[in-house]
Structure 1
Amino acid sequence: MNKYFLIAVFSLCFFASNAQNPNDEVLFTVENDPVYVSEFIRVFNKNIDLVKDESQKDVDEYLKLFINYKLKLKEAEALGLDKKPSYLNELSSYKSQLASNYLTDSKVTDELIEEAYKRMTTEVDASHILIRLDDNPTPEDTLQAYNKLLKLRDRVMQEGFETVKKDIHNGKTVYAEDLGYFSAFKMVYNFETAAYNTPVGEVSMPFKTRFGYHIVWVKDKRESRGERTVAHIMISNQKKDRPHDKPESRINDIYLKLQQGEDFEALAKQFSEDQSSASKGGMLAPFTGGQLSSVEFENQAFALEHVGDISKPFETEYGWHIIKLYGKKPVASFEDMKAELEEKVKRDSRSQLINESLLNNLKQQYQVSDATPDLSYFESILNDNYFIGKWVLPTDFKAQEPLIKIQEKQIVYEDFGQYLVKNQRRQMPKMSIKTLVVNSYHAFLENELLQYKKERLEVENQDYANIVEEYRDGLLLFDLMETEIWNAAKKDSVGLQTYYNKHKDNYFWNQRVDAVVASSAKKTTIKKVQKLLQKNQTPEQIKAALNSESEIDVIFTSGIMDAQHQSLPADFKFKTGVSDIYKFNEGYIVANVKEVLPKETKSFEEAKGAVISDFQNHKEANWILSLEEKYQVNVNQDVLESVKKQLNK
Structure 2
Amino acid sequence: MKLRYLLVICGVLFLSNLEAQKQQEDILFMVDDTPVYISEFLRVYNKNLDLVQDESQKDVDEYLTLFTNYKLKLKEARALGLHKKPSYIRELRNYKKQLVQGYITDAKVTDALISEAYDRISYDVKANHILVKVSENASPKDTLAAFNEAVNLRNRALKEGFERVRKEVHNGQTIFGESLGYFSGFKMVYKFENVAYNTKVGGISQVFRTRFGYHFLKVFDKRKSRGEVTVAHIMIANKQKDTINMTPEPRIQEIYKKFEQGEDFESLAKQFSDDKSTASRGGMLEPFSGGQLTSQEFEDQAFGLADIGDVSSPFKTEFGWHIVKLYDKKPIRPFEQLKSELEMRVKRDDRSRLIDEALIEDLKERYNISDHQPDLSYFVSILNEDYFKRTWTLPSDFIANKPLVKIVDRQFTYKDFAEYLLKAQRQMEPRMPFSTIVSKKYNNFFNSQLIKYREDHLEEENEEYAFVVSEYRDGLLLFDLMESNIWNISESDSLDLQNFYNSHKTKYVLPKRVDAIVATSTNQKALKKVAKLLHKGLPVDQIKNLVNSNNTIQVIFTSGVMDASHQALPKGFVFKNGMSKIYSHHDAFVVVQVKEVLPEAQKTFDEAKGSVISDYQIYKESKWVKELRDKFKVTINQEALKKVKLQIKSQ
- What is aligned with 2:649? 648
- What is aligned with 2:372? 372
- What is aligned with 1:105? 106
**Shift in Å, 1:563:** 3.0
Residue 46 of structure 1 pairs with residue 47 of structure 2 = yes
Answer whether contact 2:295 2:317 (CA < 8 A) is retained.
no
Answer whether contact 1:231 1:284 (CA < 8 A) is retained.
yes
Mapped partners of 1:474, 1:340: distance in 2: 35
**Shift in Å, 1:313:** 4.6
Residue 545 of structure 1 pairs with residue 546 of structure 2 = yes
Answer whether contact 1:510 1:598 (CA < 8 A) is retained.
yes
Residue 475 of structure 1 pairs with residue 476 of structure 2 = yes
Mapped partners of 1:610, 1:5: distance in 2: 21
Q: TM-score, normalization: structure 2?
A: 0.72
Is there any run of 5+ residues in structure 2 with no aligned partner, and where?
127-180, 193-216
Q: Which amino acid counterpart does residue 312 of structure 2 have in structure 1? A: I
- What is aligned with 2:237? 236
Answer whether contact 1:489 1:616 (CA < 8 A) is retained.
no
Answer whether contact 1:241 1:559 (CA < 8 A) is retained.
yes
SS at match of 2:236: strand
Q: Deviations over 1:554-604 (max 9, x none)?
A: 111122333332223334444444333233333322222344444444333
**Shift in Å, 1:233:** 1.7
Answer whether contact 2:245 2:251 (CA < 8 A) is retained.
no
Q: Deviations over 1:513-569 (max 9, x none)?
A: 333221112233223223434445443332222112232211111223333322233
- Which stretch has the larger CA shift, 595-604 or 47-56? 595-604
Answer whether contact 1:517 1:567 (CA < 8 A) is retained.
yes
* Residues 385 and 541 of structure 1: CA distance in aligned 2, closer, same or farther (over 3 Å): closer
**Shift in Å, 1:23:** 1.4
Residue 465 of structure 1 pairs with residue 459 of structure 2 = no
* Residues 414 and 466 of structure 1: CA distance in aligned 2, closer, same or farther (over 3 Å): same
- What is aligned with 1:67? 68
Mapped partners of 1:532, 1:488: distance in 2: 54
Answer whether contact 1:399 1:412 (CA < 8 A) is retained.
yes
**Shift in Å, 1:489:** 6.0
Mapped partners of 2:241, 2:11: distance in 1: 42
Q: Where do 1:113-124 residues align within 5 Å?
A: 113-118=115-120, 121=124
Answer whether contact 2:382 2:395 (CA < 8 A) is retained.
no
Answer whether contact 1:30 1:71 (CA < 8 A) is retained.
yes
- What is aligned with 1:177? none
**Shift in Å, 1:452:** 0.4
**Shift in Å, 1:644:** 1.9
Q: Where do 1:53-452 residues align within 5 Å?
A: 53-107=54-108, 109-118=111-120, 121=124, 226=226, 229-238=230-239, 240=241, 242-243=243-244, 246-258=247-259, 260=261, 262-288=263-289, 291-294=292-295, 297-298=298-299, 308=310, 310-314=312-316, 316-317=318-319, 319-324=320-325, 340-341=334-335, 344-345=338-339, 349-350=343-344, 352=347, 354-369=355-370, 371-372=371-372, 375=375, 381=381, 402-412=403-413, 414-416=415-417, 419=420, 423=424, 427-428=429-430, 433=435, 442-452=443-453
SS at match of 1:320: strand
Q: Where do 1:513-532 residues align within 5 Å?
A: 513-532=514-533
* Residues 597 and 538 of structure 1: CA distance in aligned 2, closer, same or farther (over 3 Å): same
Q: TM-score, normalization: structure 1?
A: 0.72
Q: Which amino acid counterpart does residue 372 of structure 2 have in structure 1? A: T
- What is aligned with 2:137? none
Mapped partners of 2:291, 2:623: distance in 1: 47
- Which stretch has the larger CA shift, 22-31 or 561-570? 561-570
* Residues 605 and 408 of structure 1: CA distance in aligned 2, closer, same or farther (over 3 Å): same
Residue 505 of structure 1 pairs with residue 499 of structure 2 = no
Answer whether contact 2:9 2:475 (CA < 8 A) is retained.
no
* Residues 104 and 315 of structure 1: CA distance in aligned 2, closer, same or farther (over 3 Å): closer
- What is aligned with 2:627? 626
Answer whether contact 2:20 2:37 (CA < 8 A) is retained.
no
Q: Deviations over 1:373-406 (max 9, x none)?
A: 5547569858896995788878877665555442
* Residues 524 and 343 of structure 1: CA distance in aligned 2, closer, same or farther (over 3 Å): closer
Q: Which amino acid counterpart does residue 591 of structure 2 have in structure 1? A: V
Q: What count of residue pairs does the alignment treat as equivalent? A: 549
Mapped partners of 1:453, 1:356: distance in 2: 15
Mapped partners of 1:515, 1:75: distance in 2: 55
* Residues 580 and 183 of structure 1: CA distance in aligned 2, closer, same or farther (over 3 Å): farther
Mapped partners of 1:412, 1:555: distance in 2: 80
Q: Which amino acid counterpart does residue 115 of structure 2 have in structure 1? A: I
Q: Deviations over 1:454-502 (max 9, x none)?
A: 1112212233333333333333323322222222367623222221221
- What is aligned with 1:581? 582
SS at match of 2:501: helix
Identical pairs, percent:
47
- What is aligned with 1:153? none
- What is aligned with 1:134? none
* Residues 440 and 378 of structure 1: CA distance in aligned 2, closer, same or farther (over 3 Å): farther
- What is aligned with 2:155? none
Mapped partners of 1:66, 1:258: distance in 2: 55
**Shift in Å, 1:367:** 2.8
* Residues 403 and 239 of structure 1: CA distance in aligned 2, closer, same or farther (over 3 Å): same
**Shift in Å, 1:427:** 4.2
Q: Which amino acid counterpart does residue 561 of structure 2 have in structure 1? A: I
Answer whether contact 2:404 2:414 (CA < 8 A) is retained.
yes
Mapped partners of 1:284, 1:388: distance in 2: 56
Q: Deviations over 1:347-378 (max 9, x none)?
A: 76536464344334323332324x52554756
Mapped partners of 1:346, 1:293: distance in 2: 22
- What is aligned with 1:32? 33
* Residues 85 and 447 of structure 1: CA distance in aligned 2, closer, same or farther (over 3 Å): closer
Mapped partners of 2:58, 2:587: distance in 1: 44
- The CA RMSD measured in Å over matched residues stands at 4.2
- What is aligned with 1:150? none
Answer whether contact 2:383 2:434 (CA < 8 A) is retained.
no
Answer whether contact 2:516 2:560 (CA < 8 A) is retained.
yes
- What is aligned with 1:151? none
Mapped partners of 1:495, 1:182: distance in 2: 61
* Residues 496 and 389 of structure 1: CA distance in aligned 2, closer, same or farther (over 3 Å): closer
Q: Deviations over 1:121-152 (max 9, x none)?
A: 599xxxxxxxxxxxxxxxxxxxxxxxxxxxxx
- What is aligned with 1:486? 487
Answer whether contact 1:519 1:588 (CA < 8 A) is retained.
yes
Mapped partners of 2:112, 2:522: distance in 1: 56
SS at match of 1:109: helix
- Which stretch has the larger CA shift, 106-115 or 519-528? 106-115
* Residues 490 and 314 of structure 1: CA distance in aligned 2, closer, same or farther (over 3 Å): farther
**Shift in Å, 1:415:** 4.3
- What is aligned with 2:175? none
**Shift in Å, 1:245:** 5.3
Q: Deviations over 1:210-248 (max 9, x none)?
A: xxxxxxxxxxxx999956654422223445453465534
Mapped partners of 1:184, 1:471: distance in 2: 36
Answer whether contact 1:233 1:322 (CA < 8 A) is retained.
yes
Answer whether contact 1:27 1:635 (CA < 8 A) is retained.
yes
- What is aligned with 2:129? none
Answer whether contact 1:10 1:47 (CA < 8 A) is retained.
no
- What is aligned with 1:590? 591
